[in-house]
Structure 1
Amino acid sequence: MSDPVEDLNLVSNLIDHDDKEWRQELIIEHFCENDVKRILAVPSSWRNQNDDLTWAFTNEGIYSVKTAYMLGQGINLKAVHEACLLKHRHPIEDATCPRCHQIYESARHSIFECTKVIDLCEKCGCAEMSNWERVKPGCDLVASWKNFHPKKQQYGATLAWCIWTERNQRVFENKSTSNDIIGARVKRLVEEYGNYNTHIYKQPTKNGKQSSSKWDFTGSVIFAATKRIRAYWSPEVAEAKAIDIAVRLGRKYGLEEVILESDCKNLVNRPSKGVTYLSDLDYVLDDILVTSTSFKSISWSHVKRDANSVAHHLGRLFPFGSQQVWENHYPTEIVPYVNMDILSLDQ
């Protein structure tokens, strides 16, 4: 964790308000590597937008119960343990365990000590996680799980949640589920969580390369631009930032009818929905759509990566921290790629 720094109390202290970008040298100097990546992964905006509360674990940035469930690390055993006797917590007449029907039920017995539960824990490889001989209080038992492998922690937490759910279904809905089905359910939920977690925390793009070129209908280059900064964006956000530069330059040069081409299909499809949400990608799309209101018409077109070679090669020409715009011409290094595009127009 980064140490507190005097005079750096607000996010606005980390932003260069002239070019609306992060003050990267300042951030790298005062923050640890992990915090630097997290900060530079957030795209900046040239507009003074209001802050919004967002949920990082959906594509739209909007909270959903489903994703909270997928990311749940376990259940609140403290509240369950404090209940002691479930008979006094729920309107039930019989206080014996609904599974074994042998003993007066408590939260401890229901989740860890019932003979049916012990058999299930053994089948799932989590028997040692319910060893009350080592740790007596329920909360301390759960805290002791930190000594196990993270994968086993997921199994234990998911198993406890499934056990508690199945218990409630027995009591309130008169439904019972076999241990084999519960075991298979636990395995499936843990696998789904792992896949979802991998998707959410996928490795971001380290380099923020933004480049674009604009042509008229005859194939003549009106302008070309490139900007290269250090960032940790997803590929979609990096592509959207390049388009943002392009539409702002298009407005500056008085363009009226615009066709935006991108090899990022997800980015091209998003504006067609007619709505933006709260994700990082939508944050940049809002900037693009605001600028696009200056044009008489604008359309989005998906092209293959080979058809976008001019922009990709243009983005590699300059080092980090540089920005360059060419009017009515372009660098000699990309002449072959421009000529290839012009020939394709002739066809």
Structure 2
Amino acid sequence: MIDHVFLPHEAEVIKSIPLSNRPVQDIQIWAFTNTGEYSVKSAYKMIQTQHLRSSHGQSSNHSQSNKIWKAIWAAKVCNKIKTYIWRACRDIFPTKANLTRRKKLFDAGCDCCEDGVESTDNALLSCTYADMVRKSTCLREIMAHSTNLSFVDVVDHIMQRKNDPEIAIFFTTNWMIWNKQNEAHHGTSRPDPPFLAMTAIACALEYLEANYGLS
């Protein structure tokens, strides 16, 4: 059931949650209160927060929200990568920061750079490994002008350039970075940044050429 409902890396995180060895009775926990108990007030707050994120993507420019969501779904990449970018912009990945906030973990530190919290923005933008991967692509100069932006703002910046190969490479590169970061949590070594960058570029351009005749 878990493998059918969730993405592979999310299923791995869920299945890695330790279960009690004692025959305790299952109980329902509401994740949006400190006590785990449901309340109408907490449900209302949760809905308002999700609505704000889906409408504004945690961006300071609220007027861009509808435009950026439409642009993501129109991008020339496969659907699983579009879904990944959409979820990253909404910050709904099981990052250590999010899992700690939900009291599933107690350490939110990034395993890679060891000097920050593993949030979506950190894992995909400021983490040392992610930065090294992008510096091995054509995105180096573009990203140099995106310092201190959130991930959704960087996506918006890339989309505004209206360059299909750049968009495809950015989306595919970040998708691969996220997958390799998650594999590293389970003991798999990360590939060298230049190798991962070249793999992402090749996959992005191959998809563009096969499906849109672009190269």
- TM-score, normalised by the number of residues in structure 1: 0.33
Q: Give the RMSD, CA atoms, in angstroms.
A: 3.2
What is the CA distance between 1:143 and its match in structure 2? 1.2
C-alpha offsets along residues 114-152 of structure 1, whole Å, 9 cap, x if unaligned? 12211111101213237443x734322211212322211
C-alpha offsets along residues 64-103 of structure 1, whole Å, 9 cap, x if unaligned? xxx634x748612222278782442694454211212222
Corresponding position: 1:75 with 2:85: yes
Please name the residue that 1:105 is paired with. Answer: 118
What is the CA distance between 1:191 and its match in structure 2? 2.4
**1:111 aligned counterpart, secondary structure:** helix
What is the CA distance between 1:165 and its match in structure 2? 0.8
Closer/same/farther in 2, CA of residues 159 and 82 from structure 1, 3 Å limit: closer
1:143 to 148, 151, 156: 156
Corresponding position: 1:154 with 2:165: no
1:169 to 177, 183, 189: 183
User: Which runs of no fewer than 5 residues in structure 1 stay unpaired?
Assistant: 1-66, 202-347
**1:98 aligned counterpart, secondary structure:** coil
Distance in 1 between residues matched to 2:84 and 2:158, nearest whole Å = 11
Closer/same/farther in 2, CA of residues 124 and 163 from structure 1, 3 Å limit: same
1:96 to 85, 92, 109: 109
C-alpha offsets along residues 175-231 of structure 1, whole Å, 9 cap, x if unaligned? 1222133112202211221132136x9xxxxxxxxxxxxxxxxxxxxxxxxxxxxxx
1:73/1:154 contact within 8 Å kept = no
Closer/same/farther in 2, CA of residues 145 and 116 from structure 1, 3 Å limit: same
Amino acid at match of 2:117: Y
User: Which runs of no fewer than 5 residues in structure 2 stay unpaired?
Assistant: 1-77
- Of Structure 1 and Structure 2, the greater strand share is in 1
2:124/2:151 contact within 8 Å kept = no
Please name the residue that 1:118 is paired with. Answer: 131
Distance in 1 between residues matched to 2:181 and 2:137, nearest whole Å = 18
Q: How many pairs are equivalent? A: 132
2:165/2:208 contact within 8 Å kept = no
Distance in 1 between residues matched to 2:138 and 2:103, nearest whole Å = 31
**1:80 aligned counterpart, secondary structure:** coil
1:117/1:163 contact within 8 Å kept = yes
2:109/2:118 contact within 8 Å kept = yes
1:78/1:139 contact within 8 Å kept = yes
What is the CA distance between 1:105 and its match in structure 2? 1.9
Distance in 2 between residues matched to 1:139 and 1:125, nearest whole Å = 20
Amino acid at match of 2:79: A
1:1-347 counterparts in 2 under 5 A? Answer: 68-69=79-80, 72=82, 75-76=85-86, 77-80=88-91, 85-88=97-100, 91-127=104-140, 128-129=142-143, 131-133=145-147, 136-148=149-161, 149-171=163-185, 173-178=186-191, 179-198=193-212
What is the CA distance between 1:113 and its match in structure 2? 0.5
Please name the residue that 1:261 is paired with. Answer: none
**1:176 aligned counterpart, secondary structure:** coil
**1:116 aligned counterpart, secondary structure:** helix
Closer/same/farther in 2, CA of residues 176 and 97 from structure 1, 3 Å limit: same
Closer/same/farther in 2, CA of residues 97 and 186 from structure 1, 3 Å limit: same
Closer/same/farther in 2, CA of residues 184 and 111 from structure 1, 3 Å limit: same
- Of Structure 1 and Structure 2, the greater helix share is in 2
Structure 1: 4+ residue segments shifted above 6 A:
81-84
1:130/1:141 contact within 8 Å kept = no
Distance in 1 between residues matched to 2:103 and 2:202, nearest whole Å = 30
Please name the residue that 1:257 is paired with. Answer: none
C-alpha offsets along residues 266-315 of structure 1, whole Å, 9 cap, x if unaligned? xxxxxxxxxxxxxxxxxxxxxxxxxxxxxxxxxxxxxxxxxxxxxxxxxx
